[in-house]
A and B are shown apart, each in its own frame.
Chain A
């Protein structure tokens, strides 16, 4: 599957994921992409290795309390919190997304945003936002630019814009310089995960008026 992915995450994002410095919505994007992409997963794990080395050789250590080991053994004796139940698999949503949706693709609570396009905002911290987008086969998302950074990853179907064609697992990274109008392939409805650290700006009047209601 990974062989088919052409558009990957940047090393900056992978290092940020490993260091734990990204907003939750971006962590969700990275975790979802890594679920589909072995190459990026290997790179992310190598950044974890760098973190492990830094931990081993941290410039100074801090002593634990005198009774810390006993307290920890008592914690261990107390048992372990039950893991979250594993959700049944889904051909569209990898595990991290199933956790945020609370189920499979049929459980997504879509809200129409016009012209057949639907979205579902996912519950993340406010530093950045994550949403699922549904673009009907052959439909276009209005021409728009971006204020901050926006990542869009295809989960089902495919879309094309002036840059390239993006299929399952591919991530398009948009910033302030990109104005584009993604069009879904005619063969299938397109479902994407989109995360952004700033509101999108639309180039025509009506979507701009809609924007506050869309929370995008």
Chain B
């Protein structure tokens, strides 16, 4: 992937998008933050958070079944788009969903939405399965004395994620498709170019444009 992509190309826009997220992080660390109370049509607690908490505290199977019905067909689609066979993807999705149950105690709603968390589990499993590689993960953060995340931080993070999702949905289809390919296709920019027939420069500028639009939408 490296020989064909110049790191600077998409930096500016991506950097800008993520300053928003960085602010979020800083406020998490401080433990206090202003909450955006604007109604964006999402549950303030965040979609599916209560389900995971019920699995964690009460091994709640009906909650798990609902989560499963929502996420499993998405994870399976993700794995197939990334090059798994349907039967591999079926088996792997079941493992991902079982991991979600077993690791429910590690889920931190002040740092990730449930969809983000499921995505990271599925991505790591995909690297195991398709590439037969280890996936090095960063050292766990030590969060200091407070064991439970602050409710205010949970609301803030979940709302920001909802904003990002809304902005992403509002992107023109061509830009959404490219981001989806970059995430789900396990393709480098060059491979995307070969597949879509678009020149490399166009792809990079489209991804940059997409990230730029996201940044503006999140202001």
Contacts and interface: CB of A to CB of B under 8 A. Distances in A.
Nearest to A29: B136
A19 B2 CA distance: 14
- How many chain B residues sit at the interface, stated as a range, is 35 or more
A12 interface: yes
B186 A20 contact: yes
A69 B135 CA distance: 27
Interface string A27-57: 1101110110011011101111111111111
Interface string B77-112: 110110000100110011101100110000000011
A11 B14 contact: yes
Interface stretch (A58-66, A155-163, A201-209): A58-66
Contact of A80 (B81, B102, B134, B186): B102
A154 B194 CA distance: 37
A199 interface: no
Given A28-B136, A54-B180, A96-B139, 9 more contacts: A45-B116, A49-B112, A51-B120, A51-B123, A58-B81, A58-B184, A59-B180, A62-B77, A95-B138
B17 interface: yes
10 contacts: A12-B10, A19-B182, A21-B187, A41-B141, A46-B21, A46-B24, A48-B116, A59-B180, A68-B94, A69-B68
A7 to B, nearest CB: 13
Interface stretch (B31-39, B125-133, B148-156, B195-203): B125-133
Given A54-B168, A75-B95, A76-B98, A11 B18 contact: yes
A172 interface: no
Chain B CB within 10 Å, residue with most, of A13, A53, A60, A94 = A53
A62 B63 CA distance: 21
Contacts of A124: 133
Interface in B185-210: 186-188
A54 B5 contact: no
Nearest to A43: B18
Contact of B25 (A38, A51, A76): A38
Contact of A16 (B1, B94, B115, B124): B1
A121 B179 CA distance: 34
B13 to A, nearest CB: 9
Q: Which 5 A-B pairs have the closest CB atoms?
A: A52-B116, A46-B21, A42-B25, A10-B7, A11-B14
B161 interface: yes
A58 B74 contact: yes
A32 to B, nearest CB: 7
A108 interface: no
Given A10-B7, A46-B21, A57 B123 contact: no
A59 B2 CA distance: 28
B98 A12 contact: no
B40 interface: no
Contact of B8 (A10, A27, A80): A10
B50 interface: no
A143 interface: no
Contacts of B18: 11, 42-43, 46-47
Nearest to B137: A31
Contacts of B14: 11-12, 14-15
A55 B90 contact: no
A197 B3 contact: yes
B128 to A, nearest CB: 10
A118 B177 CA distance: 46
B9 interface: yes
A116 B137 CA distance: 32
Contacts of A198: 3
Nearest to B87: A65
A148 B2 contact: yes
Nearest to A11: B14
Given A51-B119, A55-B118, A56-B115, A13 B7 contact: yes
Contact of A58 (B22, B117, B180): B180
A69 B22 contact: no
Interface in B34-92: 61, 64-65, 68-69, 71-78, 80-81, 86, 89-90
